[in-house]
């Protein structure tokens, strides 16, 4: 199964980066509020540049003066399965098997040319209407 990672990125603004191993790279989305296990909380996920596969293991500090300067932690990681869809279809159904992200999510592009997607937990045995995000740091 392919891997995913969610980086907790303390840049100018704290955000989270969802990265999916796909097509030989890490397809990446910046999620300002982070993923939610609550199906009622749709999370904006802005597609950003692909990263190389080995970046999935990165934790550390991006130096001042470089893009994204600040501390990076692995908020969650694990395997995932693509249940349906593709990037081209602009609608993915993903089953995460992480420590925090579990079960089915939809990742849906908001409009044809936009980089803006929504990450939405689907109702299942792992969904949690009381979910609040816990920071590594």
What's the start-to-end Cα distance of the chain, in Å?
29
Q: Are 6 and 74 in contact (CB under 8 A)?
A: yes
Buried residues in 5-33 as b, exposed as e (16+ CB within 10 A): bbbbbbeeeebbbbbbbbeeebbbbbbee
What's the closest the beta carbon of residue 76 comes to Mn ion, in angstroms? Answer: 15
Closest chain position to Mn ion (CB): 9
Residue 37 is given by DSSP the state S
Q: Which of residues 13-42 bind Mn ion (CB under 5 A)?
A: 17
Nearer to Mn ion, 17 or 76 (CB): 17
Binding mask 38-77 for Mn ion (x = CB under 5 A): ----------------------------------------
Rounded to whole angstroms, the Cα distance separating 108 from 121 reads: 11
Q: Which one of 3, 9, 19, 27 is in contact with Mn ion (CB under 5 A)?
A: 9
Does 8 interact with Mn ion (rule: CB under 5 A)?
Answer: no
Nearer to Mn ion, 16 or 103 (CB): 16
């Amino acid at each position: 199964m392919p891997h995913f990672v969610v980086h907790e990125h303390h840049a100018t603004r704290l955000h989270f980066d969802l990265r999916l191993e796909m097509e030989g790279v890490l397809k990446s989305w910046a999620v300002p509020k982070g993923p939610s296990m609550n199906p009622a909380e749709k999370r904006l996920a802005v597609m950003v540049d692909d990263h190389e596969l080995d970046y999935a293991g990165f934790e550390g500090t991006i130096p001042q003066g470089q893009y994204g300067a600040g501390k990076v932690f692995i908020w969650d990681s694990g395997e995932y399965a693509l249940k349906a869809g593709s990037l081209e279809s602009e609608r993915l159904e993903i089953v995460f098997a992480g420590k925090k992200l579990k079960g089915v999510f939809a990742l849906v592009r908001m409009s044809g040319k936009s980089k803006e997607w929504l990450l939405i937990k689907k109702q299942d045995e792992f969904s949690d209407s009381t979910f609040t995000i816990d920071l590594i740091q």
